[in-house]
Structure formats: C-alpha cells, structure tokens
Chain A
Amino acid sequence: MIEVKDLTKRFAEHTAVDHVSFVVNKGEILGFLGPNGAGKTTTMRILTGFLPATSGTAQVAGFDVFNDSLEVRKRIGYLPENPPLYLDMTVTDYLDFVARIKNVPAEKRRARIEDALQKTTITDKRHELIKRLSRGYKQRVGLAQALVHDPEVIILDEPTVGLDPKQIIEVRHLIKGLAGSHTIILSTHILPEVSMTCDRVVIINRGRVAAIDTPANLTTQLKGGQNVRLEVQADQNAACAAIREVPGVRRVSGEPAGGKGRVALMVEVSPGQDVRSQLAAKIVGKGWPLYELRGVNLSLEEIFLQLTTEESEHAAASSN
C-alpha cells in the first residue's frame, strides 16, 4: 500500500531524512519509532505531499506522492504533530469542512461525520467550540478529522503526545480498531507504544532506518547479544559456514550487497560476548577482502535507551 524507496530530504546543509526505505502492507499498522529530531515528521510530510523529497520515491496506493500528489491526498487521512484545528468552529462544522475539502459526496457527509464522532467518542461535544475543548478532546477532534473521509491510508504523527494515561489507552485502542480496514503509519518516540499497537516497527534515528521488524523480534533481539554486520567479498554460503565456526556466534544470515560478489552478513552473537576481533581474524585468515565490520546492536541499544528513558519521563510527567 505504501512503498518508500531511498527517500532523502535535505534542509540546507542538514539531512533530516537519509535514504529511508520501507514498505507498509495493506491493513497493517506500522510504527515509526525514533527520538525527537529523528526525521519522523519530515518523512510523514513527504508522504502527505506537504514537502517534496530531495531524492528517492514514495508511492501510496500505487500513486507517486510527488507526481500524483492529488490522487495520494485523496486517499490519505493525516493528523499532523499539532492538530490542525480551527478554534472558532464547532466540532461538527469543522468536520463538515474537512469532509468537504476531502471530496466526501454531499449525501454521505452526515453519516461520515457521525461515524468519525462516534469512533473518537466526541459525539457529546459535537456542538462545542473547539477552543473550549481540553487538550485530550482537541487531539480526538484531530483524529476524527483524519478519519472523516474514510481514507485508505491514515498517517498519525505522535497521536498520543500530551494526553493523560487514560486517554492514551483509549487512543491506542481506537487506532488498533482501525487496522485491517485502513493502512496506518503512526509515529512515536515511546517504545511501549509501538509494541502495544503496531504490527511492525521502523526504528529511525538521525534520519536513517536503524531497524525494521516486528515488535516481538526487536525485543528479543535487544535482550539477546550484540549483532555484527559484515561486508565481505566471498561466496555467501562459504562465508556463513566459516563464521558459524567462530565461538559465540548464534546465527548468521546473508544477502548480496551491491555488485562484485560482495555479501552483507548479519551475525547474531550470544549475550555478553564481543567476537568482532575473532570474526575479523577468521575472514582475513580465509583471504577474503573485508569491507565492513561493525557492531549493530550497540547503536540500536543506544536508541532504545534514549527512548525508554523518555518513556519513563513521559509517564512520570503525565502521572503528576
């Protein structure tokens, strides 16, 4: 449903999004996890047609976000980081306006608005001016706005920020309920949020994808040892077999990297072991040219550390 390839966005000198690639399947909830400034908002803005990419491509429902921007925009519901609300309008008037600019046909508008009000449980506030609503209700009006035209794809930028714990649970529940009939990307800087709501997670840090996997796999990976990424010029099977002989290595997986017979190998290591020097010795001993060797999980762990500390701060702040 969504296909992002080598997406890059530079602001002057600063690269906010750096060769990001990922795919979101129909009906899936994809979590976009990363600390503040990682490039989550920028990526979402490119997907919604608000910003053009510097390079790379992104497709939504088969349409290119730059060349077929209008087609993409018809199919997307988007909740920006700050809910785009007209404070002087009532909730219903606001949703009516959004339904109109999203091309909801007149005869369906009423029903769509009712549905969005109900899903976000704001029916009892429908005639209130938006400026009189609390932060939590405003966020829900923002969500209702993203749903009102029943879009195929829903993009939510930090939908639970600023909500109290009870509201967070409600919103997560709501988002889970939307999966299946909608394809969803949601961003967050809170680790438990993705494990609770998402089918798959893209971890992004400083504009780069650090990992893509299911929340369960990521968690086991974290609890396990440190991984090492290798790039070698050798036959893939031979290289895998050789590396398996190194004590402390649990698993090896390989894939071709670039041309010239190089392979990229991901080596899973038992907890608490550092086998990098042994790996290097092994490869050099075999006479294979070594292009890269780096510990992967270290940086991933750093990211997670940052994320988890933010989560506990967040929880502490919202329970006050």
Chain B
Amino acid sequence: MKGMYAVYRKEMGHYFVSPVAYVIVAVFLILAAYFFTQLLALYIQRAFEAGLEEGQFGGGAAFDVPSLVMRSFFGVLSTLLLFLTPMLTMGVYAEERRRGTMELLMTSPVTDVQIVLGKFLASITLLVIMLLPTAIGFAYMLHHSEPTAPWRVLGSEYLGVFLLGTALLAIGSFFSSVTESQLIAVILSFGANLLLWVLDFGSQTASSAWASALEYLSAFRHYDDFTRGVIDTSNVIFYLSFIFLGVFLTIRSVDSMRWRRA
C-alpha cells in the first residue's frame, strides 16, 4: 500500500513538472471549450428557428438545448480522448525503461502490482483533472436553462467518459510497458484505440454473428448509452473488465521484464 502510494506520488509529481502533461491538458481544454461553445451556439440557433416555425405553423417538438449540447459534446470528448490518452501514457513505462529507473523500481521492496497500480491511479487522476474544468461549462448552462436541466443525464455522461477514458489509459499503459520508445508506445496505443473505434463501423457491414461480436468489443459503442443518460450495468461491466484486462496485461508485461531485459 505504501509502496503503491510512493509510486503514485512520484508519478503525479512527474506530471506536474513535465511540460508534456500541461500541453496535453491545455490542448484538450481549448478544444473542449471550442466545441462546447460551437455546439451551444448551433443548438440555440436551431431552437430559435424551431421556435419561429412553431409560431408560424403551431405544434412542433420542444427543443431541449441542454440535452442536445451535452450529448453531442460527450461524443466529441470520446474522440478527443482517443487522440490524447496515448500521449498521457506513452512515457509511463517506456521512459523508465530507457532511463534505467525501472531497475530501481524493480529492485526495491515494491511488488510489480504496486508499481502498476500506482502508475495507473496517477494517470486516472490526471484524466479527472482534465475532465473537471468541462463541468464548469455545464454548470453554467444548466443553471441558466429552463426548465430544470437533466443533472442525472450529465452524471451518466461523466461516468461514461470516465470509464472510456480509464479503459483507454489501460490500453496506453500496456503499450508503454512493452517498449523503451515513447514514440512506439504512442503509435501502438493510438492504433489500438482507432481499431476499437472502427470496430463499431465494421459491425455494420459484417454478417450477424461477427457483427454482434465486433459491436460488443467496440469500446465506443458501449459509450453511446451513457451519452443518452442510460446507465446500463452491462456497459459498466464491459468497461470494468476491459480495464481489468489492461491492468492485468501490464502487470504481466512488467513482470516479464525480469526475464527479458538486459
């Protein structure tokens, strides 16, 4: 426990002195803010046009601007995470291996599990730090919206993006542990993320048995329900098993360094 906390603390310290983490978080927040304001403007205009039509012709569906903005925004967030999480995790093991500090960790009285969990929890913390400021926009929007806004839906969406992000971090950590090169780590994890993304499309053309298998494996498909405000236990279980598998493989990979490395 103490060993894990020591590793966690060191990783957090590293994130805060490393320009890489700042750049990633800044890029993420700038893009997120841009998409948020664009989506908000778009849907307000749509609602306004819909309101005009309603005035002229009567009837028409009510236009729930906050829900639409939230749903589209969380769709965009998943794409941003797909691009940015590999950069957050690329150095986690690759850099330690290259610098020889892995030898310090692995000859200290901490277990491989403590090393991996400490590092993983630190990357999750950074993900949360990255996501938190986006809540400011929603708090503002929901506070000003009429009628009262769907807080529960927002909660479900944040849960979804947290689970998806954590799963992507698990993938990235694993690929960082198999190489000494950050560049290779980032390429491999980005490739894996993309594959999980396109599985979703593949499932639309494949035959039915394959289609459902591919669909099930697509980490992004399971995300859709969350963005609609539906928390389905099977989706939560999917992400938790995904994360567990990623962490497990990373532990095995760290363990196997003792067998491989010079």
Binding site for B on A (CB under 8 A): 45, 48-52, 70, 73-74, 76, 78, 80, 82-89, 93, 97-98, 100-103, 145
Q: A88-B14, A103-B3 are in contact. Are A74 and B109 (CB under 8 A)?
A: yes
Q: Select which of B13, B18, B103, B108 is within 8 A of A102 by beta carbon.
A: B108
The A interface is mostly helix, strand or loop, or mixed, namely loop
Q: B252 contacts the other chain (Cβ, under 8 Å)? A: no
Chain B interface main SS type: helix
A-B contacts, 18 listed (Cβ < 8 Å): A45-B103, A48-B107, A50-B106, A51-B259, A78-B107, A80-B103, A80-B104, A86-B99, A88-B17, A89-B13, A89-B17, A97-B6, A98-B104, A101-B7, A101-B108, A101-B110, A103-B109, A145-B104
- Are the CB atoms of B101 and A85 closer together than 8 Å? yes
In the complex, whether B258 has a CB less than 8 A from a CB of chain A is: yes
Residues of the A chain whose Cβ atoms lie less than 8 Å from the Cβ of B103: 45, 50, 78, 80, 84
B100 on interface, CB distance cutoff 8 Å: yes
Q: How far is the CA of A97 from the CA of B100 in the complex (A)?
A: 16
Give chain B residues whose Cβ lies under 8 Å from the Cβ of A83: 100
| Docked-complex contact A84 and B2, CB < 8 angstroms | no
Establish whether residues B101 and A70, one from each chain, have CB atoms under 8 Å apart when the complex forms. no
- When the two chains form their complex, are residues A86 and B108 in contact, meaning their CB atoms are under 8 A apart? no
Whether A51 and B6, one on each chain, are in contact in the complex, defined by CB atoms closer than 8 angstroms, is: no
Q: Which residues of A contact B181 (CB under 8 A)?
A: none
* A101 close to B107 (CB less than 8 A): no
Q: In the complex, what distance in Å separates the CA atom of A48 from the CA atom of B109?
A: 10
Are A101 and B6 within 8 A (Cβ)? yes
The answer to whether A84 touches B258, judged by C-beta atoms less than 8 angstroms apart, is no
**Residue from the list A52, A80, A100 in contact with B258, Cβ < 8 A:** A52
Within 8 A of A (CB), among B22-42: none
- With A52-B258, A98-B104 as known contacts, state yes or no: A73 contacts B9, CB within 8 Å: no
Minimum CB distance partner of A84 in chain B: B104
Closest Cβ of chain A to B8, distance in Å, is: 10
Q: Which residue of B lies closest to A146 (CB)?
A: B104
**Which residues 178-195 in B have Cβ within 8 Å of A in the complex?**
none
Contact indicator B109/A85 (Cβ below 8 Å)? no
Minimum CB–CB distance from B181 to chain A (whole Å) comes to: 17
Contact call B6/A100, Cβ cutoff below 8 A: yes
Q: Are A101 and B13 in contact (CB under 8 A)?
A: no
Give the docked Cα–Cα distance between A83 and B104 (Å): 9
Residue in chain A with minimal CB distance to B104: A84
User: In the complex, which residues of chain B have a beta carbon less than 8 angstroms from the beta carbon of A74?
Assistant: 109
Q: Is the CB of B2 within 8 A of A100?
A: yes
In the complex, the chain B residue whose C-beta lies closest to that of A145 is B104
Given the interface pairs A50-B103, A73-B108, the reply to whether A86 lies near B2 with Cβ below 8 Å is: no
Contacts of B46 in A (CB 8 A): none
By the criterion CB–CB under 8 Å, are A84 and B99 in contact?
yes
Task: Return B6 CB to nearest CB of chain A, in Å.
Answer: 4
- Complex CA gap A83/B100 in Å reads 8
In the complex, which residues of chain B have a beta carbon less than 8 angstroms from the beta carbon of A102?
108-109
Q: Please measure, in the bound complex, the distance between the C-alpha atom of A104 and the C-alpha atom of B133, giving whole angstroms.
A: 37
Contact of B107 among A76, A86, A87, A88 (CB under 8 A): A76
Instruction: State the CA gap A273–B115 with chains docked (Å).
Output: 60
What is the distance, in angstroms, from A191's C-beta to the closest C-beta of chain B? Answer: 26
- The interface residues of chain B lying within 8 Å CB-to-CB of A100 are 2-3, 5-6, 9
* Contact in complex: A101, B101 (CB < 8 Å): no
| B104: A residues at CB distance < 8 A | 78, 80, 84, 98, 145
**A49→B106 contact, CB < 8 A:** yes
Instruction: Kindly list chain A residues whose C-beta atoms are within 8 Å of the C-beta of B236.
Output: none
A70 near B109 with CB under 8 A, answer yes
Give min CB distance, B256 to chain A, whole Å.
11
| B73 vs chain A, min Cβ distance (A) | 34
For B111, give the chain A residue with the smallest CB separation: A70
Closest approach, in angstroms, between the C-beta of A169 and any C-beta of chain B? 26
Establish whether residues B9 and A97, one from each chain, have CB atoms under 8 Å apart when the complex forms. yes
A52: chain B residues at CB < 8 Å are 258-259
Complex Cα–Cα for A101 and B14 (A): 16
Q: Which residues of B contact A49 (CB under 8 A)?
A: 106-107, 258
**Nearest CB of chain B from residue A185's CB, rounded to whole Å:** 14
Known: A88-B14, A88-B18. A82 touches B3 (CB 8 A): no
- Taking the complex as formed, is B143 at the interface, i.e. its CB lies under 8 A from any CB of chain A? no
Q: Which of B3, B7, B103, B259 has its CB near the most chain A CB atoms (within 10 A)? A: B103
The reply to whether the CB of B10 lies closer than 8 angstroms to some CB of chain A is yes
